[in-house]
Amino acid sequence: MTIELIRLHRLSIPLVRPFRTSFGTESVRDVILVEAVTGDGVHGWGECVTMSWPGYSYEYGNSAIAVMAEHLLPSLRELDADAGPEDVRAALDVVRGHPMAKCALSTALLDAWLRGRDRSLADYLGAQRDRVDCGVSVGIPTSESIVELLDEVGQYVDAGYRRIKLKIEPGWDLEPVSAVRSAWPDIPLQTDANQAYQRSDAQYLARLDEFDLLLHEQPLPEDDWYGHVLMSQACRTPICMDESIHSAASADSALTFGAASIINIKPGRVGGYLTARDIHDLCRDRDAPVWCGGMLETGIGRAANVALAALPGFTLPGDTSASSRYYEVDVTPPFVLEDGQLAVPTGPGIGVDPIPEVLADLTVWSTELRPE
């Protein structure tokens, strides 16, 4: 494949409610969409899942734009007409780190490559389902009100979501988890700390075992591998790693060391959908459950995530929520929950396109880049 140009579209999209986690609160989503135009005129789309500031990750919006323009796109100059997705991944790997920027650019090119072959991303990745079970991630109420939390969770339960994930942090953990479990004794329930705890909290978090949780997601800092081993030994609730997982090798290490028994796969965090598939394949060989995490994606990123989540090893509901969970207006036709599931797109590539007038209305900045 040859690259004619890359367009970057920066969007500002209000969230339907503030989303608070242990590392901060978002009220407006800063979105970067990558549009790739190949030499034969095919357009492909990818989404960069960075935040506007380096809170969740060292990557953030401005840095992703800079690294794509200054380093990633130039690394693709030597691609020839026969180059495919693996060639793109190899070319991008000369740049160390920056997986979210790599994922956005490589997904746009993968989308264009698949569209040129009239093949869907789901088929290319090896999906075996046409619908995926959906969970929902519930942020910490800005008021820190249990009543407000229960009201929000109740809306998602009534909507049909098949799993609830509660964001927790020190001081917001035992009481909210207990309240939700008391209100819904049978719903699959899990927590996500986003690295907010320390090794010394292991026995404290073990007190959550009584609530029959699916898992604790990333309780400790991403570089504290031994701490996660200790946490796994202290808690009956399985430990899941998220921010620690950047490759198939790191997933293998997590499982081998006993730091985690479940892996959350986020394509943006691991550099793209090819690496996400590699991690899935490794975990499936190891009989380790995986699920697809989310980063408040628009329909562009959501379409690709739903295709990934249709692979056979994704046995737990992911954060592939409906568009209405985050946005009143999505940039694509909305993804709508039906019986707790989303349909896997079947069209070429990721199977969706931005709605031109919505894209124009939400865009606050754009630029064109060429690989010369």
| Amino acid at position 338, single letter | E
Question: What's the Rg (C-alpha) of the chain?
Answer: 20
Name the residue with tokens 């996500």: 192
Q: Name the residue ranges covered by the structural domains of the chain.
A: 3-118+355-369, 123-343
Which token pair is 100? 């979210």
Q: Which residues are catalytic?
A: 167, 266
Residues 6+ apart with CB under 8 A from 210: none
Strand partners of residue 291: 264
Nearest to 342 by CA among 326, 321, 325, 327: 321
Give the per-residue pLDDT at 1.
85
Distance of alpha carbon 72 from alpha carbon 65, whole angstroms: 10
Distance of alpha carbon 298 from alpha carbon 252, whole angstroms: 30
Domain 123-343 carries which CATH code? 3.20.20.120
Which token pair is 111? 């989308």
Residues 6+ apart with CB under 8 A from 337: 134, 159, 160, 161, 321, 322, 324
Give the per-residue pLDDT at 372.
74
Distance of alpha carbon 171 from alpha carbon 22, whole angstroms: 11
Give the per-residue pLDDT at 43.
98
| SS3 track for 197-220 | CCHHHHHHHHHHHHHCCCCEECCC
Q: For 3-118+355-369, give the CATH class.
A: alpha beta
Q: What is the mean pLDDT of each run of 10 residues along the chain (372 residues)?
A: 95 96 94 96 98 96 98 94 96 97 98 98 98 98 96 98 98 98 98 98 98 98 98 98 98 98 98 98 98 97 98 97 97 98 98 98 97 80
Give the per-residue pLDDT at 371.
85
Number of Cβ within a 10 Å radius of residue 93: 12
| DSSP 8-state class, residue 271 | T
| Amino acid at position 257, single letter | F
Residues 6+ apart with CB under 8 A from 145: none
In the three-class reduction of DSSP (H, G, I as helix; E, B as strand; rest coil), residue 113 is classed as: helix
Distance of alpha carbon 179 from alpha carbon 229, whole angstroms: 28
Q: Which helix (H) or strand (E) holds 163?
A: strand 163-167
Strand partners of residue 60: 51
